[in-house]
Structure 1
């Protein structure tokens, strides 16, 4: 059976290895998402502001190295960066349970680990997105992104389901050992991928500033990519405000234990998995551009169900709203990632990926801080309301762009989508 015939990319050995590495790495990442704030909340009794600051430190890497990371990644083979980032992240995370057992763990230790882990994650994500077109070819980007999103969604279900009971049984700090193991195994699996992209041609006089400006200019000068980045920036700012207080709300307002919190987050994973399975079909039926703004407009308002919830059945209804948010988010991200990869020349893949991350993720640390400040000043419930409204408004930039009527992935020379 040829590589291009059904059942598709999963029968390609190297894509299968990337698929398995993604599963293990994302499982570790999902465990971090639950366990790291729980370490602050339970083991260190951190207040709302400190939990928000921890969220900001986790994502501050996008601001610190977001733009230069793309230029550096474009100079080397992406697979090597992915492997190194995975292995070092695993090592850094393992210091938290060691410090806890030695009675040395402090909130500042958590901040430092979150910052280093976040910086390494920037390099990993930029390399990961840039490596996929080399591995599967541009004609199969939609299929590749959809399949990888599907396995990430599965780990979104299984990660909290594993992490919640594990945190209750052995403590949140020890749970991070499972996260470190997942990332280490991800790096070792990526080491077995045989496909090598060509080593980038070295520039006679590489200049970091000029390379950064080239990637930034390509993204900001492209109407479709510019709209996507603006919508993502708004969405991510308010999503992080929402998420920063979500765990506080679930534990302190709804009275959920770690197992219950894990079930709520697993429900979000179920929505994300359904979104990954439907993404290609929905994009084909609705149109590749309209699906990007419709996904947010339809699903984000449902996050308002959470601040309305009280202990009991209304909490389960609110969890369904979070699952819908994840469904729409994955459909949107698959469409956006495929659009970005299709429009970007090979030599700029790393820089465009890093620029997109910098622009759209740059507000995430601010979102964490604003979430903590808002939670301290007005409470978790009010912060969830602000986040729900802001996420809904994130559909405006793409609705007001050429993406409103785009029905299929354009060629990079399509005059309507040219710079």
Structure 2
């Protein structure tokens, strides 16, 4: 049954540990989102193409290991995967300031760090989304996802400001130390979770390829999941094209100080925080299906304001556009992730999440690389505009699906869920 008391799931010890761990980790991650590309731009004088390659490396793992990660996670205790992923990412990030202090930091090292960070992030994210139903129960999924998206919203507000100011005060490589420490703290809090999963029983005829195929068939054989994958994947592709060059536009072409960049990104991210708090009310008002397409379809056009950014008041107009876009993205994510988790049987959660990550995040390295190529060929500002125009069309797959009018979405049970053809 859904949790009813005042603070909801936050009164539950195990969810509270996950909530605190995620808060720490998300803020630190936002520092790296600012600091790692600024290390390349400011410390190593990277070109737009090199920044694009770095962005591609950070998300390439979703293409390289996205599908098998789900099958592997379904074979393991997810709490252990979360702890190992946090510790591994802390070590990788710690190597950047060490190399910088030693005078040996290079772009190939940043590419390697970005790629391996992505690998461990794939495993962490698949395990994280698959662990939540076990931790809170399926009746509490919307509340759990809403609270964790609120964490993401807060991190998007606080993290970029902290990252930008740390880069400005301490230099970009030193700022990454904060993220390395955050991952270690996150691992400590995940370790405090008391509820233990039973170790998954190995199937007698266990076969990695067969297990991956089962996850693919479940997602691609379900019309609703298929339309969500197309919408999210195309949105991520276009956003990656735009955002890869947006930082270059601010830091390189407009010479905006790192601290101001951080404040701009944080100001815009207030929209995401508002979206996290408003998502449950919007879903009750519009219905679950309409919430999915309306949230992204009506807010993506505000991203066009980011391509008009200039020093002065237009800097904050771009922040407003970013905030409106983030509001819609967070409401969309809460609605569609909760639906996916509620539809999928326990034994397939890891593979469903990994398949969706492969399909929707696998477009991000392509977008990052395309952003770098387009930035070098047609111009940085023009590339931001191209990406944002494409993002305005991303809602069409869910609009032209049954989700458009479905106020109540189907749910699976703990054992099985039938595909929707």
The runs of 5 or more residues in structure 2 that have no matched partner are none
Measured in 2, the distance between the counterparts of 1:89 and 1:23 equals 16
Q: RMSD of aligned C-alpha atoms?
A: 1.5
**Partner in structure 2 of residue 336 of structure 1:** 336
Correspondence for 1:270 = 270
Contact 2:411 2:417 in 1 (8 A): no
The 2-side partners of 1:198 and 1:229 are apart by 30
| 1:376-405 deviation per Cα after TM superposition (whole angstroms, max 9, x unaligned) | 001111111111111111000000111111
State the partner residue of 2:420.
418
Alpha carbons of 1:412 and 1:260: their partners in 2 closer, same or farther (altered >3 Å)?
A: same
Cα distance change, pair 416–398 in 1 and its aligned pair in 2 (3 A): farther
Q: Evaluate the alpha carbon distance shift between residue 55 and residue 221 of structure 1 in structure 2; reply closer, same or farther with a 3 A threshold.
A: same
Could you tell me how far apart the structure 1 residues matched to 2:327 and 2:32 are? Answer: 21
Q: 1:7 Cα deviation (Å)?
A: 2.3
1:373 equivalent in alignment to 2:373: yes
Residue in 2 aligned with 1:202?
202
Distance 1:254 1:47 in 2: 15
Structure 1 residues 35-85: Cα deviation after superposition (integer angstroms, max 9, x where no partner)? 000000000000100000000000000011000000000001111000000
Structure 1 pair 416/125, CA: closer, same or farther in 2 (3 Å)?
closer
> 1:294 is matched with which residue?
294
User: 1:66·1:355 contact (CA, 8 Å) conserved in 2?
Assistant: yes
Report how far residue 3 of structure 1 moved: 5.1
> SS of the residue aligned with 1:336?
helix
Structure 1: distance between partners of 2:309 and 2:19: 37
TM-score normalized by the length of structure 1: 0.97
CA contact (8 A) 1:224 1:417 kept: no
Task: Please say which of residues 3-12 and 277-286 is displaced more in the overlay.
Answer: 3-12
Question: Would you say the 8 A contact 1:410–1:417 is kept in 2?
Answer: no
What's the CA shift for 1:253?
3.7
1:48 aligns with 2:84: no
Cα distance in 1 between the residues matched to 2:104 and 2:345: 48
Cα distance in structure 1, aligned partners of 2:400 and 2:153: 30
Once the two structures are superposed, residues 187-236 of structure 1 have per-residue CA deviations (whole angstroms, 9 ceiling, x without a partner) of 11100100112221211121000000000000000011000001011000
Residue 411 (structure 1) shift: 2.3
Q: 8 Å contact 2:264–2:315 — kept in the other structure?
A: no
Q: Deviation of residue 4 (structure 1)?
A: 4.0
In the alignment, what sits opposite 2:176?
A: 176
Measured in 1, the distance between the counterparts of 2:90 and 2:419 equals: 41
Q: CA contact under 8 A between 2:71 and 2:350: conserved in structure 1?
A: yes
Structure 1 CA distance, aligned partners of 2:289 and 2:74? 28
Give the corresponding residue for 1:132: 132
Question: How far apart are 1:416 and its partner, in Å?
Answer: 10
Report the equivalent of 1:100. 100
Q: Who is 1:407 aligned against?
A: 407
Write the deviation string for residues 150-191 of structure 1: whole angstroms up to 9, x where unpaired. 011111111111111111111100100000000110011100
Note the C-alpha offset of 1:258. 0.3
Kindly report which structure 2 residues correspond to 1:91-240, keeping only aligned pairs within 5 A, or say none: 91-240=91-240
Distance 1:309 1:41 in 2: 19
Q: Distance in 2 between matches of 1:170 and 1:318?
A: 27
CA distance in 2, matches of 1:313, 1:269: 18
Give how far 1:25 is off: 0.9
Query: 1:36 corresponds to which residue?
Result: 36
Task: Map 1:344-355 to 2 at 5 A.
Answer: 344-355=344-355
- Preserved CA contact (<8 Å) 2:343 2:417: no
Q: Which range is displaced more, 197-206 or 106-115?
A: 197-206
**Which stretch has the larger CA shift, 284-293 or 135-144?**
284-293
Deviations 1:286-339 (A, max 9, x none): 111111111121111111112223221122112100011111000000001101
1:389 aligns with 2:367: no
